[in-house]
């Protein structure tokens, strides 16, 4: 079995999500959308692979906005079509933050600016804790989705929807893949300035992430198992 992690940028590795798939016997493969040398100018042509060649797909987070087509087209349009083709082929998709927003947009929802950005470790209000644990989960987003037709919201905070399911697709707004090393990569690539602008201390958020690393990784691997056992086996697109 093969799972494809769609890495929008070079500082968002699979982390414990990849470990969770590996525990279930999946070969973990990675597809990098924007290479390091184009990070500042991400509007490039990208040819996505055939989604039907994989048994699961995980589109990851990104520092950009799904709706910022002037900056990230033509690849964002190609990625949304890639996600629609995965759904048509019955390939389960676990969308993470930007990836969850892209999943919503691909199936008729919208992505809009959030009224309040969220940064750091937050608990979520979950309707199905056997699928979406209350956390805490790591948040880093300034946008949010509006649900696509037919989607069922599973979790939320006071600021944004946090999880939805649609057929074999699960979108989460938080970052279950996060590790302290990954967070350091974000901070080193412009994230520290973004946090400071929002009144958040990068050092404190990094130290908090280091303290929570073990428990967070366990929750993340468990999320993969639940996704495979509950969502990946749902009815495919008609």
Give 122-140 pLDDT, tens digit per residue: 999 999 999 999 999 999 9
2-178+216-231 carries CATH number 3.40.50.880: yes
Domain range summary for the chain, segments of one domain joined by +: 2-178+216-231
Decide if pLDDT at 221 tops 60.
yes
Active-site residue, selected from the candidate residues 23, 107, 175, 225: 175
Q: How confident is the model at residue 73 (pLDDT cuts 50, 70, 90)?
A: very high
Q: What are residue 4's DSSP bridge partners?
A: 29, 57
The answer to whether residues 111 and 65 touch, using CB atoms and an 8 Å cutoff, is yes
Quick check: pTM over 0.85? Answer: yes
In this prediction, residue 77 carries a pLDDT of 98
The answer to whether residues 89 and 57 touch, using CB atoms and an 8 Å cutoff, is no
* 177 annotated active-site: yes
- Check whether the bond before 2 is cis (ω within 30° of 0): no
* 175 annotated active-site: yes
Q: Mean pLDDT lowest for which of 10-14, 166-170, 195-199, 233-237?
A: 233-237
Give 150-165 pLDDT, tens digit per residue: 999 999 999 999 999 9
Q: How confident is the model at residue 235 (pLDDT cuts 50, 70, 90)?
A: confident
Decide if pLDDT at 238 tops 60.
no
* 118 annotated active-site: no
Separation between Cα atoms, residue 29 and residue 31, nearest integer Å: 7
Tell me the mean pLDDT in the region 177-206: 94
Active-site residue, selected from the candidate residues 79, 97, 107, 139: 97
Of 107, 175, 117, 177, nearest to 142 by C-alpha is: 117
Active-site residue, selected from the candidate residues 79, 118, 139, 177: 177
Helix (H) or strand (E) holding 217, with range, is helix 202-226
């Amino acid at each position: 079995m093969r799972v494809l992690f769609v890495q929008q940028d070079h500082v968002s590795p699979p982390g414990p999500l990849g470990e969770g798939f590996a525990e279930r016997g999946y070969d973990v493969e990675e597809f990098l959308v924007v290479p390091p040398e184009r990070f500042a100018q991400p509007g490039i042509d990208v040819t996505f692979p055939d989604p039907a060649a994989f048994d699961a797909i995980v589109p990851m987070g990104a520092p950009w906005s799904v709706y910022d087509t002037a900056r990230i087209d033509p690849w964002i349009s190609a990625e949304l079509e890639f996600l629609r083709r995965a759904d048509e082929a019955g390939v389960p998709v676990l969308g993470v933050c930007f990836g969850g927003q892209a999943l919503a947009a691909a199936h008729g929802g919208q992505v809009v600016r959030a009224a309040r950005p969220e940064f750091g470790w937050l608990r979520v209000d979950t309707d199905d804790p056997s699928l979406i644990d209350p956390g805490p989960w790591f948040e880093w987003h300034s946008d949010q989705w509006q649900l696509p037709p037919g989607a069922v919201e599973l979790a939320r905070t006071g600021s944004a929807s946090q999880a939805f399911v649609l057929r074999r697709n699960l979108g989460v707004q938080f970052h279950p893949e996060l590790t302290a090393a990954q967070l350091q990569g974000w901070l080193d690539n412009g994230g520290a300035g973004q946090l400071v602008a929002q009144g958040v201390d990068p050092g404190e958020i990094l130290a908090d992430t280091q303290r929570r690393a073990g428990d967070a990784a366990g929750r993340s691997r468990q999320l993969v198992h639940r996704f495979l056992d509950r969502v990946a086996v749902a009815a495919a697109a008609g």
